[in-house]
Amino acid sequence: MRDVQNSPDFRGIPLQQVGVRAVRYPIKVSDKVNQTQHTIGSFNMYVDLTADFKGTHMSRFIEVLNQYRHEIDVENLDQILEDMRKRLNSEVSIIEISFPYFIEKKAPVSQAQSLMEYQCRFWGSKTSSTKDFVLTAEVPVTTLCPCSKEISDRGAHNQRSVVKVSVRFQTFVWLEDLIRLVEECGSCELYPLLKRVDEKAVTERAYDHPRFAEDVVREVALKLDDWSPIRWYAIECENFESIHGHNAYAFLKKEKGSSPS
């Protein structure tokens, strides 16, 4: 049977990324409390394609995943990337794994327990001589508008916000610690289960700690600057405004030891 993908291409154009997207597969994630958490990852897998070949072999990406079935985690991500490179005869391999991660939280007053979901991501790349890894967590928080509080006789508008933090690190970082750091920087953290006494507590907490999107990003940056394992970070905060037809947004990217860019 003729291998069309492996046939020569005469247009002379190399492609930086070819592969498969939205492949769902079970993964394991290190859990600070329970050691391991099993969840479902959505995979994007890419390699580069030289100008010589018409296409890549999509089935080989799935074959690599299948080889690591039930054993996919950050510990063997480097080996998976290397297998992708070799299996597809490429110089560069890239993998993105997005997954839900669950942390048990207690309501602030009633102590009612329930599971909170966070969207997280592993991103890795590898060549014959280099490798890279980025950990990302999306953390929902409450933000209360400082301007609204200042000018209003009664109350202030607040909203749910999402803070997305990506980090490169030199020693292992727990997802729980990264998420906790971010939650401390909003007007108030979110909880999946609240009784009335808890609703009162979180409402008053937010009112006492007003934050713009810009404030949240700067507060997170200060904490990451002081956290020794982190060597690079990118922070973005988006407020889903409750009284505007638009969202508020702030972003910061920084290599530790250099000025923000």
- Domain chopping of the chain, boundaries: 15-255
What share of the chain has pLDDT > 90, as a percent?
84
Tokens coding 257: 């030891």
pLDDT tens, position by position, 186-244 = 999 999 999 999 999 999 999 999 999 999 999 999 999 999 999 999 999 999 999 99
Query: 229 φ, ψ to 5°?
Result: -65, -25
Q: What is the C-alpha separation between 70 and 97, in angstroms, rounded?
A: 14
Residue 261: is its pLDDT beyond 90?
no
pLDDT confidence of residue 140: 98
DSSP three-state, residue 261: coil
The pLDDT value recorded for residue 50 is: 84
Question: Above pLDDT 70, what percent of the chain?
Answer: 95
Q: What is the pLDDT of residues 12-64, one digit of tens each?
A: 889 999 999 999 999 999 999 999 999 999 999 999 988 887 777 889 999 99
C-alpha to C-alpha distance for 137 and 122, rounded to whole angstroms: 9
Helix ranges, 51-163 (H): 58-67, 77-87, 146-151
Q: What's the CATH number of domain 15-255, 3.40.640.10, 3.10.270.10, 1.10.760.10, 3.40.50.2300?
A: 3.10.270.10
Mean pLDDT of 65-79: 87
Tokens of 85: 């490179």
Q: Which is nearest to 161 in space by CA: 103, 98, 247? A: 247
SS3 at position 69:
coil
132 beta partners: 125
